[in-house]
Structure 1
Amino acid sequence: MMRVKHGSFNHVEVVEEMIFAINVGYKVNDLCTRCSTSQLSQSRRFPFLRPVRFLTDSRDVLWIMDTSEPQIDGPDPSPAVDHGLLAELESLRQSHQSLRSRSAEMEETLLLAQRQREDCVNEIANMSKIIESLCSERDRLASRVGELEELLKEKEDKFLSKFEEELIERESMRVEIEVYKKKFESVEEEMEERGGLLSRSMEAVQTVKDGLIKVIQNVDDDKIPETLGDENGGNGDLRLDSEFMPVFEQIMEVRKLVDLADSKVSEYKEMKGKEKRQLENSVVSLTEENRDISSLLRVALMEKEAVEKSLNKLKGNTEQKRVALLQFAERGLQRVGFGFMMGSGGSIEQPMVESYGASSTGSKSDGSECEEEVVSLASTVEKIMKNLRLEITQLRRCLDESRSDNERLESLTTKQAQQISENSLYIKELEERERLLAQNIEELLVDIKETETEVDRWREACELEVVAGKNEVEERDKVVTILQQELEKTKSALEISNGKLKLKADLAAAAMAAQATAEKSLQLADSRATGLRERIEELTRQLEEADSRERSGRRSIMRICWPWRAFIKVNAGNGAAPRFPNVRRMLPEMQSLLHSRV
């Protein structure tokens, strides 16, 4: 006995088992009808074969074959019938094995389909992760591009401000140069008139020339020549007079100023070198950032191509799966019995009609049971077909969902491709901007070199101006000495007059101080007089108060000593009132005196 449960196997196995049962049932039924017509009903020559029964339930489908022991007393079966039955059973076994193998193959295909579906789901999840990473990287690139734009704008603003400052400085230098030119022309006219002091100021001029040569060498990156001598080395040999000492001091101050100018120019040169280095470093960093951005874009494009290839593969796999599923459904319907039942219905009815006229009442009951079994099989087949249709609809829904996911992924990929193309265009624009900035930097460097050459020329002109200025300073120093002498004379006169004024001021201050002291003494005398007057008034008032107190004190003593007179007068005026109302307040001696008086 073999039992096939409805819940333990797949629907395909159930269908195959039912097909096998139908085939075996019809064939065994045919054999039973043949035997019953000829010899089986009378002699029971085939006791091991009995009609097949299908017991249907809501959960189980039972295939029962009765293999009871044959009767001993009955006749032996014929060998021809045995061989036919064995052949038919062997063919049935082979068909059952083939069906089992097919069902196993179908199960394998289903497992492969499930695995492929899981792989598709995993790939979709991976694609979503990749898309998220691409989105994050896009945002990072966008932020980086914004930062680069801000840096470029700041650098452009700095360059523009520096350029404007340089232009302003150039204009101021030009104005100063024009002023100096005018001064130089006037100085040259004066130098033509005055030219006798060159021999005395050659050493100071030589020192100034040496300092200026040092400045030029520092600016032109040449080697510094050896120092000449000490600054005060020629003071003992010159033996200058007191009149020429301030001139020499002014010349030494000019030399110190030249040294300061040298240091300032060197600092300016260092600052320019630092700025050049910073610009070069910024250009190198920008080129490296451009390389990184281009490499990242290449990686993103490669990932995009890989995603498109995987999507194309997924599209091809879905179409192949669809064709395979359609073929599988057609084959399954053919195998389930649509063609078998429609084509073999007449062949089933013919033996039933032939057996109906020649069989007995037992064969009629067997035919009715077979019909019931066929109906039950048809109902189960319908149920299975419904389940298969539901599965097909579910698979179609899954396919639609996968298609929608694929379309969504395609839309996302297209959007990402558009964004990548936009970013690439934007990066190209940035590269063009960088190229323009590099050109501007080169132009600025050329301008800086030109300005340096102009500065050199102006330095030479300034050197000449300094030489002319020294001559002017010498002449002006002479004038200054004359003016200093006059100032000394005026200072001495001013000192004398200041002394006289100080004496007058001291006398006036002493008179003012005496007047102030006199006023203070008068104020003190007045204040003392007022104080004495107030004191006298207070004393007189106190004396008057003392006199009034003495008079009032005498009267009060008489009343205290002789108080009964007042009481007698009161009693005489008021006869009904008590005679001595305040006796308790009096002393006992006074009370005794009063009683005795009364």
Structure 2
Amino acid sequence: MISSCSRDFNPQLAISIFLVYQLLGSISIISLNPENISVEKFREILAELDRERVAREAAENAKNDLQVSFNRLKVLCHEAIKKRDECSRQRDDALREKEEALKKLESVGGELSEGIKLKEDLLRQKDEVLKQLEEVRKARESMRVEMETGSSMLVSGMEKISRKVSSYKEFGGNGLPKSNKYSGLPAVAYGVIKRSNEIVEELTRQIEATISGLREEVAKKSEEIESLKRSIDEKDGKLAEFERESSEKQEGMERELSRLRLLVSDYESKAETQKPLLIDQLNYVSRVHGEMCKVMKIVDAKKSSELSESLFLAQETNMEENIKAALAGMESVHELSKIVVEKTRDLVEERTREVKSLNETIDQLMKEKEQIGSLLRSTLSRRMVSKGKMSPEEVEENEVYALASALENIIKQSQLEIIELKHSVEELRAESNLYKERVDAQTKELNQWKQRVEELEEKERVANENVEGLMMDIAAAEEEITRWKVAAQQEADAGKAVEKDYMTQLASVRQELEEARQAVIESEKKLKFKEETAEAAMAARDAAEKSLRLADMRASRLRDRVEELTRQLDELDTRETSGTGLRRLRYVCWPWQWLGLDYVGSRRPEIPQQNANEMELSEPLL
């Protein structure tokens, strides 16, 4: 009967324990190597440094190769504004990507909190299992005293279980542990309970090792997540600082561009305002050139045919050609004024010589007049002497009339000559004064034009210097824009690389969390299986306790029966003879009946009751 019960019960328990050890053997603890992670991060930092160095060299080479011109200022300003908008758009994209990374980190934090909750559930389940194991350990001491039945079933079952769990731990090939205190079935029950405790302790150790490994793994994951959060915070701080610096420099560049734009508009407005003045100046230069040519014709008619007319025509669009034409006209006017001054000087000297000759002629005529007066007086005196016949009054009157008429004629002629000479002298003086005034006016005008030319040259020099300064400022602004563009591109590439790194780290963290979740699920399954095994062990313990109680009850009934049989034997001893002593019940050994054996002189009607008692004893084990 006991062997049949063992055949009905042991396979299920053995299979359950075998599956428990297989699941425990399949658990693999994931170990991370922080040295490999630190080396990889160090290599990534070195790679980033190399990329920054290469980018810096490229920026320096690009800086040395830049050449810009003034005519591309407006186009470059528009390009700078477009690039600024593009940089702002890239910055917005980087901020958006950063927000997505933060959202992903929050989801990872939620998953981590779920893992922590699972860990707490595991710890709580571990505490419950430990409590149950403690209860099992406490019940083990009571089971050691109370178990007296089920030896063959327990021995065979424990041998099968020991053979099946021998792959995990060798429990010895000498059978169950033995006790010096008990013997028989209680000793077997003691060995079974002790072997069960050993198996349960081994399972508990493996569970504790698994839970400690999971705890260490969760701690490592939490440390890695904290390091990732710190690195993300550092990157956010660097990104904010870079955005602040870029915004400040961008504002400075915009202010510089606005200043340059104002200077350009100012110079353009000045050029526009000076354009009509330059056109008027060129027109006046052409007029002055024409007047000088007319003066040259008056002064020197022979050489005036060699002069060409003014070709200094004003152009409304080309300022540089107007300035060159004005300068050429001023040079031509200057040369003509030199020639006119020389010719005027020659004419003045000639007129002066003529005036001197006329003055000499007048002096000579005055001398001749005096000589003629003296001659007339001498002739009159001779005539008066030769005509002594005439009366003195007549002679005197005739002499007076003749002298007066002669003097009148001479004086008239002299006066006419003097008047003509005076008129000619006045004409010459007026002409010389006119020439002098013209020369003075032309000299003043020439000096004014010289000053105007010098002012124009100075303005042209200042304008060229301003244009050069503007070109240098524009080149510096373009260089700064290019440098910031390269820096923004490098930062965008670095942000993309960091984002890729974060994505890979998040993927690895998710994978590790998924693996940890799978491990937790497997551990939960194993814990459930172990709980079921523990419940089966508890049920076996309860069955063993119930079997022991039934055995105690059976033993008490058997003791009562033995006492009754002993009493009956004593009565029969007094009544019967010694011939019938061999058939007496004192020769019956009571364990034979408990073991289901027949004995001589036994009564058959008690067999059904014994079978029912044995079934009742083995029922809890089933």
Q: TM-score, normalised by structure 2?
A: 0.37
Q: TM-score, normalised by structure 1?
A: 0.38
Q: Which has the higher contact order (CA 8 A, sep 6+)?
A: 2
